[in-house]
Amino acid sequence: MDFATATLTLLLIMDPFGGIPLVNSLLRDFDEKRRRRIILRELLIALGILVVFLFAGKPIMQLLGLRQGSLSTVGGVVLCVVAFEMIFPRASKVEAPAEEDPFIVPLATPLIAGPSAVAFLLLLVSSEPGRVWEWLGALSCAWGICAAVLLSSPWLYRHLGRRGARAMERLMGMLLLMVGVQMLFDGARALWNT
Determine contact, residues 50/135, Cβ cutoff 8 Å: no
Name the CA dihedral angle for 124, 126, 130, 133, rounded to a multiple of 10 degrees: 40
Range of the domain at 155: 3-193
* Total domains present in the chain: 1
Q: pTM here?
A: 0.77
pLDDT at 99: 57
How far, in Å, CA of 146 to CA of 101, rounded?
A: 20
Amino acid identity, position 67: R
pLDDT at 91: 61
Residues of the chain with pLDDT under 50: 93-98
* pLDDT tens digits, one per residue of 56-75: 877 877 888 877 777 778 77
